[in-house]
Amino acid sequence: MWKWLNSYADPERSYNLAGKLLPWLACLAIALIGVGTTWGLLFAPTDYQQGESYRIIFIHVPAASMSMMAYVSMAIASFIGLVWQIKAADWAAASIAPIGAVITFIALVTGSTWGKPMWGTWWVWDARLTSELVLLFLYLGVIALYASFEDKVLAARAAGILAIVGVINVPIIKYSVDWWSSLHQPATIKITEKSSMPMEMLMPLLINIFGFGVMIATITLVRYRTEVLARNGMRPWVRALATKEVAK
Amino acid sequence: MAENQKSEVLVHANELTCIREERILFDELSFDINAGDIVQIEGPNGAGKTSLLRIIAGLSRPYAGEVHYLNQNITRCRDEFNHDLLYLGHLAGVKSELTAEENLNFNLSISGYHDFDTSSILSKVNLSGFEDALAGHLSAGQHRRTALARLWHTNCRVWILDEPFTAIDKKGVEELEKLFIRHAESGGCVILTTHQDMGVVTEKQLRKIRLDYRFV
Amino acid sequence: MNRGISYTRAFTTLFMRDIKIAIRHRGDIFNPLLFFIMVVTLFPLGVGPEPQVLSRVAPGIIWVAALLASMLSLERLFKADYNDGTLEQMLLSPQPLPLLVLAKVLAHWVLTGVPLILVAPLLAVLLNLESNSYGALMATLALGTPVLSLLGAIGVALTVGLRKGGVLLSLLILPLYIPVLIFATSAIDASGMNLPYTPHLAIIGAILAGSLILAPIAIGASLRVSTN
Amino acid sequence: MIQFDSISDFFHMGGYAFYVWLAYGITFSSLAILIVMSARSKRKILVEIAGKIAREARLKESRGINSESKT
């Protein structure tokens, strides 16, 4: 099985494969997010409690759930890279990190713009927001560590260890923050009540969650291709591409 | 090599590739090092001599390829390999806050030796009388010899020495060379880099692996 | 030639060596401690001297200061060994690396964590901590500071080969410190209100047990990357 | 079924216009920046590699070593 995987881990093949997949995934992502967002903004019924402000949910929840997903996939890729020494996995992990950080940032900002009309302040130390903030720090740590090493093979290994340590810690941090905010916070309105959500709200939300996932995959492929080129600058096929690009 | 065909292969390098910061230092480098070999890695600065030594020692991971010790991948038998490996790098591994004796003591105990006589070992590297001197106060040569003292009390078969003769005087170099020959004759191997020519070890006893500076 | 692998001997050799070096280099023990004291004394100057305010924030201040002090002192944990090559020798020794790493971290904790625990009650007096919180303060520090050392050592091991590791280190490890901080300060708060705080201690203890097992492996792997 | 009576009603978002549009604005602009930067970096890398090839060629010439090494 590893042989088969390895043949796809070959830099040139994976570069080309990613290039072939890219347009399809990009179209799918645009379509899903387009449909989900339009549905959410225009067609989903108004929330009886929060009015129109709840429409932020259609990007907040996808961003928040995908921020965690992206971290876990980064950690899995790092693990594969560390244990089986598959370079393609290292490159994939390095490509996901900045995307995850941006998605986490989006989750934070949308959470806080939603919080302002609901809670009356931009920031509350709500469990969800706090753990999202910590997740952003974890992402930034991985990115900064990866950037600090000159030799990117080492950089990937170091950042990979950190990502794995982080992923073990994420549930502990999440639990501690939940527990801490239940201690310190007077009961506020829950901003998402999934159980009571009607179908007309749930559908666009699910479409957008899926759309965000596909979008992350798409951008990962774009970055992955760049990463493959950057790490394989000594190989003839990359050099041929480079000469062609400059000649243009 | 032809003459030692019977002797066993201690270290086998299998298609080693080393890439540092997107520059290929060497690729698909394969060789065998047999018991009884004294091998000098030579080449200009930046050719990857130290990188090769560190890869063989298992300190660095090659970009591709693997190193075998007694037909086993060293990443699979790290403890056994480390048990039989004596590596001395650019950095001596001598703490300046500790005395020469304490340094030797620590270096030997961490490799598992016990019940040894530090002062007699130190006397072999001409450090008698300096046992209680802090390594930080010793001269460069004495500092280096504190590290080299380990070579006189070891049962490791594979010696990997990166520039062992730095800061060592002529007589010291000769003694070291004699020690290498003795070690090789007793079934060990020495892999080293050096810029100095060796006087005692003859061309016939010495094997060379050459690394060239590569532009691509 | 007598040679044999003994885990306890390897462990004590390394442990004693680090203690010996630290004793010859006393600044390494006292500077983080002084830093800890300084940070704590700055807080009353910043938030005002009202006893009620101080006693309300005392657990947080002491713990945040302890956290920073631990991080500051950790920075030097592997640096000297890395610079003089003893770290390479440790990696190449036939003893299991996690064990050696654990000896170093333990030595570091004895040298910097224990003094910190010992001065903490004095600082608590300055901050007007609730009188029934002293036990909880000491207990959380005793269980929590080893966790800080263990988790922090992972970050230090990852950055030891880098020239500008200092700032990066805080970004890497402070997020990992959050659970300890939360449970420790709320244990102290709970004890101040005469509530049971053993559940909090149990959680910190569980984190300690987990990091005792997992952190040395991660530190070892990180050191192998850093010395590459 | 569209929930809003008119375009201006839609932009008004029941009084929450600022927050809703701020959230959507930041989201899509930061995503756009990310995508543009990701897409551009490919060319940057290729140009860098081309520069490296040129540098190596010069280095080879100046050292006067004929390119005997493989690859």
**C114 to C13, C120, C139, C143, C166: CA distances (angstroms):** 20, 10, 12, 11, 23
Pure H helices in chain C: 7-24, 27-47, 51-74, 79-84, 86-91, 97-108, 114-126, 134-159, 165-192, 198-226
pLDDT above 90: percentage of residues in chain C: 76
Which residues are within 8 A (CB) of B35 and not within 5 positions of it... i.e. 6 or more apart?
B4, B7, B8, B10, B157, B187, B188, B189
Of the ranges A141-145, A208-212, C207-211, D16-20, which one carries the lowest mean pLDDT score? D16-20
Q: Angle C51-74/C134-159 helices, nearest 10 degrees? A: 30
CA quadruple C104, C106, C109, C114: dihedral sign: negative
Partner residue facing B85 (CB), from C25, C92, C228: C92
Rounded to the nearest angstrom, the gap between the alpha carbon of residue A56 and the centroid of all alpha carbons in its chain is 18
Full strand arrangement of the beta sheet holding B64-69: B23-34, B9-20, B64-69, B72-73
How far does the CA of residue B113 sit from the closest CA of chain A (Å)? 32
Whether D56 sits inside 8 A of B27 (CB atoms) is no
Please tell me what DSSP assigns to residue B134.
B
Residue B15 has phi, psi (to 5 degrees) of 45, 55
pLDDT averaged over every residue in chain B: 88
Q: Which residue of chain C comes nearest to B51, CA vs CA?
A: C228
Residue where a domain terminates, one of B110, B132, B155: B155
Domain boundaries, chain D: 22-62
**CA distance linking residue B183 with residue B202, whole number of Å:** 15
- Residue A221 near residue A18, CB atoms below 8 Å: yes
Which residues are within 8 A (CB) of B131 and not within 5 positions of it... i.e. 6 or more apart?
B99, B100, B101, B118, B119, B122
Mean local confidence (pLDDT), C100-127 = 94
Which residues are within 8 A (CB) of D5 and not within 5 positions of it... i.e. 6 or more apart?
none
- Residue B151 near residue C40, CB atoms below 8 Å: no
pLDDT averaged over every residue in chain A: 87
Q: Which amino acid is at D19?
A: Y
Mean local confidence (pLDDT), A86-114 = 94
CA-closest candidate to residue D22, choices A117, A36, A34: A117
And the tokens for D1?
A: 């079924």
How far does the CA of residue A206 sit from the closest CA of chain B (Å)? 43
Mean local confidence (pLDDT), D28-37 = 95
Domain identity same for B216 and B181: yes
How far does the CA of residue A242 sit from the closest CA of chain D (Å)? 5
pLDDT at A2: 47
CA-closest candidate to residue B95, choices C100, C161, C20: C20
Whether B61 sits inside 8 A of A233 (CB atoms) is no
Query: How many other β-carbons are positioned within 10 Å of the β-carbon of residue B193?
Result: 22
Q: Which residue of chain A comes nearest to C186, CA vs CA?
A: A180
Domain identity same for B78 and B175: yes
**A236 to A23, A232, D52: CA distances (angstroms):** 26, 9, 13
Which residues are within 8 A (CB) of A28 and not within 5 positions of it... i.e. 6 or more apart?
A214
pLDDT at B136 over 70: yes
Mean local confidence (pLDDT), B1-26 = 77
pLDDT band at D67; cut points 50, 70, 90: very low
pLDDT at D68: 46
- Residue A70 near residue A166, CB atoms below 8 Å: no
Partner residue facing A233 (CB), from B22, B61, B63: B22
| Phi-psi sector, C156: left (phi>0), alpha (psi -120 to 50), beta | alpha
And the tokens for B197?
A: 């020519």
**CA distance linking residue A200 with residue B149, whole number of Å:** 79
And the tokens for C116?
A: 């910190």
Which C residues in the span 147-206 are in contact with A, Cβ-Cβ below 8 Å? 154-155, 158-159, 162, 164-165, 168, 171-172, 174-176, 178-179, 182-183, 186
The residue among B78, B85, B95 with the most chain C CBs within 10 A of its CB, best to mutate, is B95
pLDDT at A195: 53
Rounded to the nearest angstrom, the gap between the alpha carbon of residue A72 and the centroid of all alpha carbons in its chain is 9
Residue where a domain terminates, one of B155, B174, B192: B155
DSSP line for B32-62: EEETT-EEEEE--TTSSHHHHHHHHHTSS--
Mean local confidence (pLDDT), B149-176 = 91
Number of domains into which chain B is organized: 2
**CA distance linking residue C13 with residue C103, whole number of Å:** 9
pLDDT at A146: 95
Question: pTM of the prediction?
Answer: 0.90
Q: B15 touching D, CB under 8 A?
A: no
Of the ranges A152-166, B8-22, D23-37, which one carries the lowest mean pLDDT score? B8-22
**C225 to B61, C149, C158, C228: CA distances (angstroms):** 9, 20, 7, 5
pLDDT at A191: 53
CA-closest candidate to residue A11, choices A86, A94, A109: A86
Partner residue facing C182 (CB), from A140, A158, A180: A180
Domain identity same for B15 and B101: no
Q: Which amino acid is at C74?
A: L
**CA distance linking residue A145 with residue C222, whole number of Å:** 12
Which residues are within 8 A (CB) of C168 and not within 5 positions of it... i.e. 6 or more apart?
A141, A144, A145, A148, C159, C162
| Residue C180: half-sphere exposure toward Cβ, Cα within 13 Å | 31
| Phi-psi sector, B15: left (phi>0), alpha (psi -120 to 50), beta | left
pLDDT at B3 over 50: no
Q: Is C163 exposed, middle or buried (0-12, 13-18, 19+ CB in 10 A)?
A: exposed
Residue D67: list chain B partners with CB under 8 A: 215
pLDDT at B31 over 70: yes
Residue B46: list chain D partners with CB under 8 A: none
- Residue B41 near residue B193, CB atoms below 8 Å: yes
And the tokens for A11?
A: 């830099």
Mean local confidence (pLDDT), C48-60 = 91
Q: Which residue of chain C comes nearest to B106, CA vs CA?
A: C13
pLDDT above 90: percentage of residues in chain A: 53
**CA distance linking residue C152 with residue C70, whole number of Å:** 8
Mean local confidence (pLDDT), A197-212 = 89
Residue B112 has phi, psi (to 5 degrees) of 100, 0
pLDDT band at C101; cut points 50, 70, 90: very high
Domain identity same for B198 and B99: no
Partner residue facing D23 (CB), from A113, A219, A226: A113
Paired sense of beta strands B23-34 and B9-20, if any: antiparallel
* pLDDT tens column, A226-247: 999 999 888 888 989 998 888 8
pLDDT at A194 over 60: no
pLDDT band at A187; cut points 50, 70, 90: very low
Residue B22: list chain D partners with CB under 8 A: 52
Whether B215 sits inside 8 A of D67 (CB atoms) is yes
Q: B171 touching D, CB under 8 A?
A: no
* pLDDT tens column, C180-224: 999 999 999 999 899 999 999 999 999 999 999 999 999 999 999
pLDDT at A192: 57
**CA distance linking residue A234 with residue D52, whole number of Å:** 10
pLDDT at B104: 92
**CA distance linking residue A45 with residue A60, whole number of Å:** 17
* pLDDT tens column, A159-184: 999 999 999 988 888 888 888 877 76
pLDDT at B28: 86
**CA distance linking residue A80 with residue A90, whole number of Å:** 8
How far does the CA of residue B95 sit from the closest CA of chain A (Å)? 27
* pLDDT tens column, A50-81: 788 888 989 999 999 999 999 999 999 999 99
DSSP line for D1-67: ----SSHHHHHHGGGTHHHHHHHHHHHHHHHHHHHHHHHHHHHHHHHHHHHHHHHHHHHHHHHT---
pLDDT band at C157; cut points 50, 70, 90: very high
- Residue B17 near residue B24, CB atoms below 8 Å: yes
CA-closest candidate to residue A130, choices C147, C178, D22, C62: C178
* pLDDT tens column, B78-122: 889 999 999 998 888 899 889 999 999 999 998 889 888 888 999
CA quadruple C155, C158, C160, C163: dihedral sign: negative
Residue count (chain A): 248
Strand partners, B87: B160
Per residue in C176-197, is it b (16+ CB within 10 Å) or e — as a string? bbbbbbbbbbbbbbbbbeeeeb
